[in-house]
Amino acid sequence: MNESQGRFTKRGVDYPIIDGMRTLPGRYYHSRDIYAEEVEKIFYKFWLFGLRAEQIPEIGDYQLVQIEDESIIVLRQKEDVFKAFFNVCRHRGTKLCTEPKGRFDQNLIQCPYHAWTYRLDGRLQSAPLMKEGHGFEKAKCSLHEAHVYNWDGFLFLNLDRNPEPFEVRMEALVNKFREWEMSKLRIAHHIRYELNCNWKLILQNYQECYHCPGVHPLLSQWTPVHSAQHDYSKGAVIGGFMDLTRERGSMTMDGSAAGPPVGCVGGEDLQRIYYYSVFPNLLLTPHPDFVMYHHIIPQGPGKIINDCYWLFHPDTIKDSKSQEGIRSAVEFWDLTNRQDWQVCEQMQQGTKSKRFTRGYYSGREDVLLTLDHEVLKALGHTIEDGDD
């Protein structure tokens, strides 16, 4: 690490010296107004992770994805074509589907109220007794569509009418984990956590290991804190990795691999755990032998659902000899997650105090400043000096 003139570089990355730099003011975790702004300017505007393609395996299968007030029907229209529609009938606004997932009979989406019927591409097929010409045009009554992008089996959604292209926004991600062949992986386990904290605290927690020695003794044993490094990051993607001390190890209760490496992962990647936060709602943790990810679903300024999934190769999932390894990977991360949730919830509570204005970042928390700036840029906010 070289340090000079208020900046330092680490493995070629240029960092500002940030010891003593200030955190966001507390209102960014508690204000209903700021949260409403975040919904408009971040969750209704940016690419969000929605679900895995494997969760709607057949043509005509759908699953609902809830983004704040918006219910989105994500369906498989053709073998490799996914569509996303606002779950709202064009007649009088009735919610079309209420079951969280299912299959459209005869590949038609029918409103239960007055039987208006749509095709899988969203076009209105029939509207009983409606006459065209007095303000009503069938061709203008297709379902409202949202954008979908399938990245390695992760379906991302965008509710904005004219979103920035996925490949631009997610440049640092697009080809990053090709060797993992993630589109071939399948969900082996899922745990839903309901947490009382702001969504940004989870991202912050994920991107620094300053807290690891005290909070995660086991994790710190398998991947030493000092090994944490950040890659060059761009757009919505911030990432880094930590080194596994143990040859062919992984993040499990005993530190050994849970299964064979996935895809064609090799070389130094066999000794690394990657931590990539895909702003704003996906935390992606590729291991040599599996992928763990968190899907963060804000429920207000102080509440989130965190859906945590473990992806393994289907052969590993079927292999009876691998069950203990999978179980151990789940147990390790469930333990580690709960350690994190506890301190995130305490930070949520503490920052509510009027006496908390802004905190201080240590040098180990440099990336959090980048996250804060990403939020402020999206909202069009600047923090005044008087805010501390």
Q: Kindly state whether residue 314 participates in binding a copy of itself, applying the rule CB under 8 A.
A: no
Helices (H), 78-210: 166-169, 171-174, 199-206
Is residue 217 a contact point for a copy of itself (CB under 8 A)? no
Under rule CB under 8 A, residue 362 binds a copy of itself: yes
Q: Which of 146, 140, 89 is nearest to 117 (CA)?
A: 89
H/E stretch holding 339 reads helix 323-350
Between CA 152 and CA 182 the distance in angstroms is: 5
State which of residues 103, 211, 303, 381 lies at the interface with a copy of itself (CB under 8 A): 211
Q: Is 12 in the site for a copy of itself (CB under 8 A)?
A: no
Q: Which of 13, 59, 141, 383 binds a copy of itself (CB under 8 A)?
A: 141
CB of residue 36 to a copy of itself, shortest distance in Å: 12
- Of 159 and 273, the one with the shorter C-beta distance to a copy of itself is 159
The single residue among 213, 217, 266, 314 that binds a copy of itself, judged by CB under 8 A, is 213
The 3-state DSSP class for residue 307 equals: strand
Q: Residue 59: helix, strand or coil by DSSP?
A: coil
CA of residue 152 relative to chain centroid, distance: 14
Q: Which of these segments, 57-65, 205-213, 235-243, 371-379, binds a copy of itself (CB under 8 A)?
A: 205-213
Q: How many residues contact a copy of itself, by CB under 8 A?
A: 64
Taking the complex as a whole, the smallest distance from the CB of residue 387 to a copy of itself amounts, in Å, to 13
Which one of 46-54, 216-224, 358-366, 379-387 is the stretch in contact with a copy of itself (CB under 8 A)? 358-366
C-alpha 146: how far from chain center: 18
Stretch that binds a copy of itself, among 130-138, 216-224, 291-299, 375-383 (CB under 8 A): 130-138
Q: Which stretch binds a copy of itself (CB under 8 A): 206-214, 241-249, 303-311, 320-328?
A: 206-214
How far, in Å, CA of 264 to CA of 56, rounded? 26
The token pair at 278 is: 């895909």
Contact 286, 164 (CB under 8 A): no
> Tokens 């006496």 identify what position?
355
Report 63-122 residues binding a copy of itself (CB under 8 A). 69-71, 86-96, 98, 112-115
Distance CA(205)–CA(355), nearest Å, equals 22
Of the residues 364, 370, 376, 383, which one makes contact with a copy of itself according to CB under 8 A: 364
Which among 73-81, 181-189, 216-224, 353-361 is the span making contact with a copy of itself, rule CB under 8 A? 353-361
Q: Counting contacts by CB under 8 A, is residue 131 touching a copy of itself?
A: yes
User: Smallest distance, Å, CB 146 to a copy of itself?
Assistant: 9
Contacts of 255 (CB under 8 A, 6+ apart): 221, 222, 246, 249
Q: At what angle do helices 199-206 and 366-379 cross, to 10 degrees?
A: 150
CB nearer to a copy of itself: pick between 66 and 175: 66
Query: Alpha-carbon distance 63 to 361, whole Å?
Result: 41
In whole angstroms, give the CA distance from residue 109 to residue 119.
Answer: 6
Answer for the pair 72, 65: CB distance below 8 angstroms, yes or no: yes
- Work out how close the CB of 52 gets to a copy of itself at its nearest, in angstroms, rounded to a whole number: 24
Residues in contact with a copy of itself by the rule CB under 8 A:
6, 17-23, 26, 44, 69-71, 86-96, 98, 112-115, 127-136, 141, 144, 210-211, 213-215, 342-343, 346-347, 349-356, 359-364
